[in-house]
Amino acid sequence: MSFVITLYVREGIVMASDSRLTLNIKKKDPQSPVHVAVSQSDSNYKTFRTPHNIGISAFGAADIDGSPISGYVENFINQHCQSARTSIKEVADNILNFFSKFSRTPDCGFHVAGYSREGNQLNQEVWHVLVKKNLVKPLNKNSKPGASWAGEGDILARLLQPTYLKDRQGNFIQQPTYQVPWQFFTLQDAIDFAVYAVRTTIDSIRFQPRPKTVGGPIDVLVLKPEDSFWVKRKELHV
């Protein structure tokens, strides 16, 4: 599993992800079947940039036929994302077709984001792709600033959603809820929130009795109308 987040604010788009590759092993014991999640690597790439400033983040199943999915995403970019005329929606459709052709359809998904041109105007586009469900849908359909995340999203959802306490009479009392004002986010705010979201998920999972499926360095990609750049990116080293 993974945690990826994409924020779309007035100044740009921010995409962030963790780096953990987890192996899921099911021990076949008729008396007490055990599901074991083993952290195999903390150097897996989940966010990618195409030559023409389109961002792709992967979540869900981290391998195909025993190989990390990152290599397949890079192959997809080399084969289908070299033309500047390829639209963001076409990239989303193509990535669905690409990963649907394996003998066993991987249970993975993607965020695909960037800017499309309409006349003299550049518009933000963020698409959600779910391979097993054969689904491609827009995430910022109303063009309003916001954020979307996928993977192990329960921790962040609990922090942002309204909460209730049960009193002695059995009544549920709503606690104060403070909505995040996405519309006022600067690009730096979006970067800070993306890192906060991934880091909080990593730190919470560390202390919870659950599989440690999110971890490692955080990669952060920024997409601007005419440019893109890495704020944080793992590098190979010795």
* More confident of the two residues 37 and 55: 55
Over residues 110-139, the mean pLDDT reads 95
Amino acid at 123: N
Amino acid at 135: L
In the numeric block, which tokens belong to residue 222?
């920024």
Task: List, for residues 168-219, the tens digit of each pLDDT value.
Answer: 999 999 988 899 999 999 999 999 999 999 999 999 999 999 999 999 999 9
Question: Quick one: how far is CA 50 from the chain centroid?
Answer: 16
pLDDT of residue 63: 84
Task: List, for residues 47-83, the tens digit of each pLDDT value.
Answer: 999 999 999 999 998 888 888 999 999 999 999 999 9
In the numeric block, which tokens belong to residue 157?
């959802």
In the numeric block, which tokens belong to residue 96?
């669905």
Calpha distance 49→113 (Å, rounded): 10
pLDDT of residue 184: 97
Tell whether the model's pLDDT for residue 7 goes beyond 80: yes
Calpha distance 48→50 (Å, rounded): 7
Is there a contact between 219 and 234 (Cβ–Cβ < 8 Å)? Answer: yes
Extended strands (E) in 101-145: 108-118, 121-130, 135-138
Least confident interval from 36-45, 79-88, 91-100, 146-155: 36-45
Tell whether the model's pLDDT for residue 34 goes beyond 70: no
- DSSP tag of 183: G
Among 3.60.20.10, 3.40.50.200, 3.30.750.24, 1.20.1090.10, what is the CATH number of 3-28+35-232? 3.60.20.10
Tell whether the model's pLDDT for residue 2 goes beyond 70: yes
Calpha distance 227→62 (Å, rounded): 28
Mind giving me the DSSP string for 194-205?
HHHHHHHHHHHH
